[in-house]
Amino acid sequence: MTDEKKTQDESLDTEALMPESEGAETDDVAADNEADTTADNEAEAAEEQTPEQQLAAARAEIEELKTQALYKQAEFENYRKRTIKEKADLILNGSKSAVIALLPIVDDLERALPSMKQAEDVAAVAEGVELIYQKFLKALAGLGVKQIDTEGQDFNVDLHEAIAQVPGVPDEQKGRVIDCVERGYTLNDHVIRHAKVAVGM
């Protein structure tokens, strides 16, 4: 075997025995060198521009930014106007669903009034009024309105308003609601009218 052939074989063996990590490091260095070369080229290109070209590029960028700013401003203005309109519509027509729910009750009362004037059976009239009353409560419940329970309940300042005190009640009724003078109501679990009650003392 000649010395030249032997040298080539040793070179091949050395490359084969080279760790993979060293090869990866070589690739990373090559990539970094390429990135540096690209950045240098861009910097050189920028330096090669004349002041007039640089000024024109800066003005073009400013105009583009102005256009974007105007677009965003117009978009926000449209959103603001749309929001104001939606709020105004909600204020004007917010009670629409409540009115629609209560109109059938009005219809029932209009049909019942002439019958009441001519009715001789008081029990039948009372039953009719009770049916309308229950229908009314059901309509209110559909709107999120509920009556505050008072019967046998402990007095609660968050739900009840004491307008009278009843002395001489048994111990188990002290501090409890004895009578409800005017019913209270909640709307979606928020008190809109406290129940006016008499409390045992």
76-98 pLDDT tens trace:
999 999 999 988 888 777 788 88
What's the pTM? 0.54
Positive or negative torsion for Cα 23, 24, 28, 31 = positive
pLDDT band at 15 (very low <50, low <70, confident <90, very high): very low
- For 159-174, what is each residue's pLDDT tens digit? 999 999 999 888 888 8
CA distances from 168 to 40, 163, 175 (A): 99, 17, 12
Beta bridge partners of 191: 186
